[in-house]
Structure 1
Amino acid sequence: MPAWKSITNPSQAMLIQEVRVMRGPNMWSDSHSHVLAVKMHPSVPSISTGQLQAISDYLAPLAITESDGTERETLLLRLTVRLAAALQGSEMFHGLRAPTSDLTFGVVGYEVEQAGTVAVELASSILASLLEGGQPPTFAEAAAVVLAARRRYGEGPSTTMIIDAARSKNIPVTPGPGGYTILGYGKHQKKISAAMSHNTSCIAVNIAGNKEHTKKFLESAALPVPKGVVVAEELDLEAAAERLGFPLVAKPFNGNQGRNVTCGIYSLDALRDAFRHAKELSRSVIVEKEISGSDYRILVIGGKFAAASLRSPAMVIGDGIRTVAELVEQENNNPMRGQGHENALTKIRLDQSSETLLASQGLNTGSIPVMGRQVCLKSTANLSTGGTAEDVTDLIHPLNIRAAEKAARVIGLDICGIDIVSGDIALPLRENGAAIIEVNAAPGLRMHKFPSKGASREVGAPIVELMFPQGDQGRIPIVAITGTNGKTTTTRLMAHVASSAGKTVGFSSTDGIYIGSEKIQSGDCSGPQSARTILHDTTVDFAVLECARGGIIRSGLGFDQCDIAIVTNVAADHLGLKDIHTVADLAVVKSVVPRSVHKDGWAILNASDDHAFAMREALRCRVALFCTDHENPRLQEHLNAGGTAVYMDAKQDIYVCHEGAALFMLNAAEAPITRRGLAGFMIENLLPVALAAHLSGFRQSTIADALKGFVPSAEHTPGRINEFEINGVNVIVDYAHNPHGLLALAGYLKNIPGFKTGIITGTGDRREEDIAAFGRIAASMYDRIIIRFDRDLRGRSQEQILDILASGIREKDPGRQFEVIPDTQTAIHHAVATAEKGSVVVICADNATYTVGLTKIVAAQFQSEAQ
């Protein structure tokens, strides 16, 4: 059970019907990618005056008032997202968004997805409880639950600093598998884990993790280190003490973060206790001569000194009133202190080592130190044990900088934290008996960014600069393609051209994910997760991503920005699903893709499509047009203004106009995908590809040769006019599954002579008017109609689908007859068996790959019968 459930009443009706988690550019906000879109339950009742008063009383201390929403219909939604923002502990983006006329969602930002989701659920639960007169958790209790989720799932401070620095350079950041963070895309990506980078040497990490080996490497380079020995058995401690002399330090052989380290050992008994404490973490224990002085941390990045801090162990100062335990509690209430690494400082935890150290000072946790007395609570100065840090970057002696840089080189770490004990870091190490006591891989960065005293140092930036030098943003070209029809063919064409230009292309579409020539995943892969799969592939240097409506609605885009966006068209499809009821609504969803183009990139829009063309008004990038009609007024106006476009003239010659020049590409009939120039909708798919390829810097000859060499087939372009000759009949399988697509197919079939049989069906989750329109169009383009049914009827019965299709057919032709053969394979076989030689049978299929497979089975059956 989630933690937040434990402090709410499970019987309370939640106010929320749905929460959509956006992880990229989305339809809710142009400036925020990480948002939650909240839909209220339609049965939420109106609010009475008494209920409103109860809500107001709860929210008043948070400065959330009824004025946050004057309309009672949206008041609860406004208050839900406002409260969810407050529960996350910062002034998070929030508000209401209505991208379409009848669609209103609450939108709230998040920094940690799981914490944001918990915040929304808790906000809803609190308001529901108040409406029912219940006792919801206090704001502090709810905020603590959200904070726990943030701690559990959020990034640590070092990772966050590097991520922030990367984003400031416009380097894309995405979570990777196993908790790693990926900076950049494709072949240019780098991985980080806290302050350990893509380039960190495994051998160097092993050396740094072995304190004895570290010391030997430093000694070999004539760098000062404390004298010490490795002790595995307690019996050897006395000899070690005699050899080294007190005071001593004992620490685990391979420990970190100062855990189980004991300093200031002045007796054999204390040494034995320290040995046992260190043995809890390590089989062997390092016993060293204690170096007198202060504890300094030197940060070296890429072999260059970056920052220095003076670290002090956790301590409290007596006031003559409070006990040590009470003073620790008071200090832990400092807002700068948090659990673990969540804040600038870590809360102090009193443990056995603290008790021992207190005893050496003549105190215990119940003692009341006199006013002004400093009480040391830890023997090490690590921030992870409650220590503090003061920035001394400007004080360190140049010779000490050279020594630190040398130590980093000797160990071989690209990001290195060097611990030095010195009486004064402003003096050379050898002048005051100082020594390097430790070298750390993946050093903590927060002490430098958030010192208790002194200047803040932006140490994340040089780490990013080390991985991405000289303005490198770690990006690869991304062409994103959306629209209602033609997306997959356009995607495949674009990928083919880029591959012909020598690129290692990753592309995703409705039939799979491809890396180079290999299909690595089958199925509908047109969503954001498929895009991320491609962008995380280390071989890809050019991405072509099909972006369908479903993924955009569900969680936004799978990338932060693209270089080129193509919008093929916007027509009725999937209407009535996920709150998208009109073509205008659908256009809002599709517009997310061109709005994700960076300001110097290109949106290539269909000039002949009203909704696609209208998208240009909301874009920050450069706009180009494509059109098969050279005389199109929109195209002509754009060209006359010096705009970039691609078009086809009356001779079917294709030209790209860019920067005042018209470049001939090829004749449309030369591209096999256009079926000798007869398939107008295929030409519409080809045109934006020719322009996108040109804008990508590919040569005209490369583009033309690639388009001429793209041969459509059932394997290469499944469901895109796949033709089979079966028993003397021309059988065509096409993906036309909505009225717009069927009209486009009709335009091609007009150019094909012969009797035409159409095998059609209706998709159950489409609107009734769309299924009926499919029937009307089918009646106008086929001489004979056979109705079949999909395996998945998507919410409607066969009888319902049949009735709607029949109504559309008879609306067009009242006397029209049709056959009903429910099974698809049987329908194909029957159509071919009863068709005249030389005629055409067309199978319209939503699942084109499956239907192509059935068609091949039928072909084999006829071939077997002929033998």
Structure 2
Amino acid sequence: MFEYEIEEAGVESLRLVLKMIESLCDCEIPIPFGEAQQQVEHIYHKYGDGPTTAMITGAARKRNIPVSKGPAGFTILGYGKNQKRISAAISQHTSCISVDIACDKDYMKQFLESAYLPVPDGRLTQEESELLLIAEQLGYPLVTKPFNGNQGRNVTCGIKNFEELLIGFRSAAEISKSVIIEKEIIGYDHRILVIGNKFIAASLRQPASVVGDGVSTISELVETENLSPLRGNGHENVLTKISLDDVTELHLQKQGLHVSFVPASGQQIFLRATANLSTGGTAEDVTDVIHPSNILVAEKASKVIGLDICGIDVISPDITRPFTENGGAIIEVNAAPGLRMHKYPSKGEPRDVGEPIIDLMFKKDDEGRIPIIAITGTNGKTTTTRLMAHTAAYAGYTVGFTSTDGVYVGNERIKTGDCSGPQSARTILQDTTVDFAVLECARGGIIRSGLGFDQCDIAIVTNVAADHLGLKDIYTVEDLAAVKAVVPCSAKKEGWAILNAGNEYAYRMKDMVKCKVALFCSDENNTYLQEHMTNGGSAVYADSHLNVFIYDGTHKIHVFNMKEAPVTRNGKAEFMNENLLPVVLAAYFSGIDTEKIALALKSFIPSAEHTPGRINEFEINGINVIIDYAHNPHGLRALAGYLKHIPEKKTGIITVPGDRRDHDIIEFGEIAASMYDHIIIRFDRDMRGRSEESITELLGQGIRNIKHGFEYQVIADTQSAIHHAVEKAEKGSYVIVCADDAIHTLKITQKVALLYQD
């Protein structure tokens, strides 16, 4: 067990460790540790955030704004309709036309000149034949740079004659057909960061350099400097490694030097003319000394170009004096400015420049969240999820919810299948139309990948009972409860965990959570419930007449009678009563009026479409057919509680998933024997590792334990089993089909029904 920041790097670490162990077991030499470490670091930097993004997401987390990776690697801050998107230092509010202006150096200059902001005199050309005339007009020294370049690439400074101008022009032309030629401003390179048209920070940038020791060559000094843990490739670290390329060699030549030169001790050698961090430069914070009038110039430039986040490059002999006094000028306005020079200056005070970007995107106290109701338990999760989603939608929200039968946004199912895991949750939370999320959280997804959210407002635990035991290292109900408890433990401190007082395992979770605890129970005399309310705890319960009451800690509020909710089958489906109660309380905690809650639950009509596999009733050839999702002993007992109100004869078509323990399958057969007058054993399409003979034997053993000598049938095919049961059953009797895949079974049942239509 180990912790990681980047999942891909964690997986790579595990893969390499296993490879090392296998090599040792085979008496082979394992991969060297240093090589393995480099591989992990490569993966880490490939999938991790760069310094700029990390500063922004770090500031977001400080304000409790959720952070996630969206499609195509874009970073998403917040959930649902309240989310914002960023790409490095470009926000979703950054104007596209402003970025275009900033990226077009000629347009940018024209905009700045129109506002009478200081810019160097210059020309744009594509022709070498025009260079001489331009040089005469501007006068040396000059600077050449690509029209659409960035990060100081192929920029040549300090041009003093035509030969150097020609070399600089051709270098810039390698990147851009059009080349900018400007009068060089004498001074130091500065970057001014402006966010929301307000000055935030300023840095004095210095080109890549080395300091001699009297022994080492420039090449050796660079090699030593690149070993610094602060330097990395590209933007992956605080500083970028220095490259000894053609630009470096040319700059050294201008100084009469070469890479094999040995500088004197303490002698500083500059390796480039430009001071970009991306080429190995360093930065010194000068935020506190920049002249106020220069701040006004930078803020005005950001308004003129129209960027919400921008880095303004200026050359000035002295940033503490106004540009008007010393000839300082703006040479570029950059969209998506790098932030690392401000957060990690080589000298001076670090600036938390991610925070003002978050403050620009989110108002004070806005965490970018939407209400999240997370629902877990062994049985009843999906029905509870659907009831909650329906109630929130009735109250006017655009609801997104996940369940074992699909992902839904509004009234549309956007994906079909078992979608009760974290990826489906992320789908809902990254949907820009959703303003209320209801998320079913099954054990499989929790074990595999945790939750798809960092915290929820309300967590509901319907119950915990034996199911899927023996899988994924979950061997006992206590183990299972520990997994389910992850959900209520994710409720935020001021949120709620709504726990079933009638289920010991769910109730015990009250001692594990850090949020507020509320209880629900269909038995108002439940000891835990009464004790909780006596101590001023919130709860929801039903009295002996099935009247539903909310207790808010001081007084009780009548909501409605359970019989009025169609999903309860006139109150006879006791497990549906249990599903309904926590929804009442969760809706109340969500600020929905009790009258609206009652109307919503009264309007929820159970059907194969709205609640697939939850007591779906049909009439086929005079026979009442029920499809239900009862696939474990606890669920089958709950179904039995409803069927006991039906006096007619009942035929049960049963099966169990093959990945259940022998004991569970036998118990399922025992419960079925106590419920049904006739039993047919069928099989799922996916046997999950068991043979038909094994399932038949274990179910048969359970049946015989209750009814010795009881005869049952085995009809493997589901459609044949349903057709046979309908054909043989007495008119008015019931055929109950237990379905692990409810939607598939419903389709089969509809096919059988068509056989009897004339």
- The normalised TM-score by structure 1 is 0.87
Equivalent residue, structure 2, for 1:535:
429
| Letter of the 1:266 counterpart | K
Deviation at 1:758, TM superposition (A): 0.5
Change (3 A) 1:131 1:788: closer
State how far apart, in whole Å, the 2-side matches of 1:115 and 1:785 are: 53
State how far apart, in whole Å, the 2-side matches of 1:318 and 1:786 are: 90
**Residue in structure 1 matching 2:667, options 770, 773, 783:** 773
Equivalent residue, structure 2, for 1:270:
164
Deviation at 1:140, TM superposition (A): 2.4
| Letter of the 2:381 counterpart | K
Q: Write the deviation string for residues 221-271 of structure 1: whole angstroms up to 9, x where unpaired.
A: 110000111111222211211111111111110111111111111111111
More deviation, 314-323/530-539: 314-323
**1:109 match: secondary structure:** coil
Equivalent residue, structure 1, for 2:407:
513
Equivalent residue, structure 2, for 1:115:
9
Q: Write the deviation string for residues 152-189 of structure 1: whole angstroms up to 9, x where unpaired.
A: 11110000000110001100000111111000000000
Equivalent residue, structure 2, for 1:561:
455
| Letter of the 2:383 counterpart | T
Alignment of 1:672-821 (within 5 A): 672-821=566-715
State how far apart, in whole Å, the 2-side matches of 1:582 and 1:377 are: 67
**1:359 match: secondary structure:** helix
Equivalent residue, structure 2, for 1:468:
362
Q: Write the deviation string for residues 35-91 of structure 1: whole angstroms up to 9, x where unpaired.
A: xxxxxxxxxxxxxxxxxxxxxxxxxxxxxxxxxxxxxxxxxxxxxxxxxxxxxxxxx
Deviation at 1:560, TM superposition (A): 0.2
Equivalent residue, structure 2, for 1:78:
none
1:843 matched to 2:737: yes
1:340 matched to 2:234: yes
State how far apart, in whole Å, the 1-side matches of 2:717 and 2:39 are: 54
Equivalent residue, structure 1, for 2:150:
256
**Residue in structure 2 matching 1:383, options 228, 253, 277:** 277
Equivalent residue, structure 1, for 2:218:
324
**1:685 match: secondary structure:** helix
**2:165 match: secondary structure:** helix
| Letter of the 1:146 counterpart | V
Equivalent residue, structure 2, for 1:40:
none
Q: Write the deviation string for residues 491-549 of structure 1: whole angstroms up to 9, x where unpaired.
A: 00000000000000000000001000111000000000000000000010000000000
Structure 2: 5+ residue stretches without partners:
none
Equivalent residue, structure 1, for 2:563:
669
Deviation at 1:131, TM superposition (A): 5.1
Equivalent residue, structure 1, for 2:31:
137
Q: Write the deviation string for residues 437-471 of structure 1: whole angstroms up to 9, x where unpaired.
A: 00000000000000000000000000011111211
State how far apart, in whole Å, the 1-side matches of 2:483 and 2:228 are: 46
State how far apart, in whole Å, the 1-side matches of 2:211 and 2:571 are: 86
Equivalent residue, structure 1, for 2:527:
633
Alignment of 1:73-88 (within 5 A): none
Q: Write the deviation string for residues 362-396 of structure 1: whole angstroms up to 9, x where unpaired.
A: 01111222333322211110000000000000000
**Residue in structure 1 matching 2:57, options 152, 159, 163:** 163
State how far apart, in whole Å, the 1-side matches of 2:34 and 2:735 are: 69
| Letter of the 1:684 counterpart | E
Equivalent residue, structure 2, for 1:146:
40
Equivalent residue, structure 2, for 1:12:
none
State how far apart, in whole Å, the 1-side matches of 2:268 and 2:132 are: 32
State how far apart, in whole Å, the 2-side matches of 1:862 and 1:753 are: 25
User: What is the RMSD of the two structures over their aligned residues, measured on CA atoms?
Assistant: 1.0
Equivalent residue, structure 2, for 1:235:
129
Deviation at 1:133, TM superposition (A): 4.5
Native 8 Å contact 2:540 2:585 kept in 1: yes
**1:108 match: secondary structure:** coil
| Letter of the 2:718 counterpart | T
1:614 matched to 2:508: yes
Equivalent residue, structure 1, for 2:375:
481
Deviation at 1:751, TM superposition (A): 0.5
1:573 matched to 2:467: yes
State how far apart, in whole Å, the 1-side matches of 2:472 and 2:512 are: 23
Deviation at 1:129, TM superposition (A): 3.6
State how far apart, in whole Å, the 1-side matches of 2:13 and 2:628 are: 47
Equivalent residue, structure 2, for 1:47:
none
State how far apart, in whole Å, the 2-side matches of 1:465 and 1:376 are: 38
State how far apart, in whole Å, the 2-side matches of 1:121 and 1:383 are: 35
Alignment of 1:85-484 (within 5 A): 107-130=1-24, 132-484=26-378
More deviation, 371-380/412-421: 371-380
Q: Write the deviation string for residues 139-162 of structure 1: whole angstroms up to 9, x where unpaired.
A: 322222211111211110000000
| Letter of the 2:284 counterpart | E
Q: Write the deviation string for residues 724-759 of structure 1: whole angstroms up to 9, x where unpaired.
A: 011111110000011100000000000012010101
| Letter of the 1:331 counterpart | E
Q: Write the deviation string for residues 544-572 of structure 1: whole angstroms up to 9, x where unpaired.
A: 00000000000100000000000000011
Native 8 Å contact 2:374 2:456 kept in 1: yes
| Letter of the 2:356 counterpart | P
Equivalent residue, structure 2, for 1:657:
551
**2:541 match: secondary structure:** strand
Structure 1: 5+ residue stretches without partners:
1-106
State how far apart, in whole Å, the 2-side matches of 1:758 and 1:480 are: 33
Native 8 Å contact 2:403 2:440 kept in 1: yes
| Letter of the 1:649 counterpart | D
Native 8 Å contact 2:680 2:721 kept in 1: yes
Native 8 Å contact 2:402 2:438 kept in 1: yes
Q: Write the deviation string for residues 633-686 of structure 1: whole angstroms up to 9, x where unpaired.
A: 111100111110000000110001013120111101000000011000000000
Equivalent residue, structure 1, for 2:397:
503
| Letter of the 1:244 counterpart | L
| Letter of the 1:722 counterpart | N
Query: What percentage of residue pairs aligned between the two structures are identical?
Result: 64
State how far apart, in whole Å, the 2-side matches of 1:632 and 1:151 are: 56
Deviation at 1:762, TM superposition (A): 2.1
**2:756 match: secondary structure:** helix
| Letter of the 2:570 counterpart | R
State how far apart, in whole Å, the 1-side matches of 2:319 and 2:211 are: 25
State how far apart, in whole Å, the 2-side matches of 1:158 and 1:802 are: 62
Deviation at 1:127, TM superposition (A): 4.2
State how far apart, in whole Å, the 1-side matches of 2:264 and 2:501 are: 82
Deviation at 1:273, TM superposition (A): 1.1
Deviation at 1:281, TM superposition (A): 1.2
How many equivalent residue pairs? 758
| Letter of the 1:124 counterpart | L
Change (3 A) 1:568 1:462: same
Deviation at 1:841, TM superposition (A): 0.6
State how far apart, in whole Å, the 2-side matches of 1:374 and 1:631 are: 84
State how far apart, in whole Å, the 2-side matches of 1:126 and 1:781 are: 57
State how far apart, in whole Å, the 1-side matches of 2:622 and 2:31 are: 75
Equivalent residue, structure 1, for 2:494:
600
Native 8 Å contact 2:533 2:553 kept in 1: no
- The normalised TM-score by structure 2 is 0.99
Q: Write the deviation string for residues 408-456 of structure 1: whole angstroms up to 9, x where unpaired.
A: 0110100010000001011111110110000000000000000000000
State how far apart, in whole Å, the 1-side matches of 2:721 and 2:224 are: 80
Q: Write the deviation string for residues 775-813 of structure 1: whole angstroms up to 9, x where unpaired.
A: 111000000111111111111111111111111111111
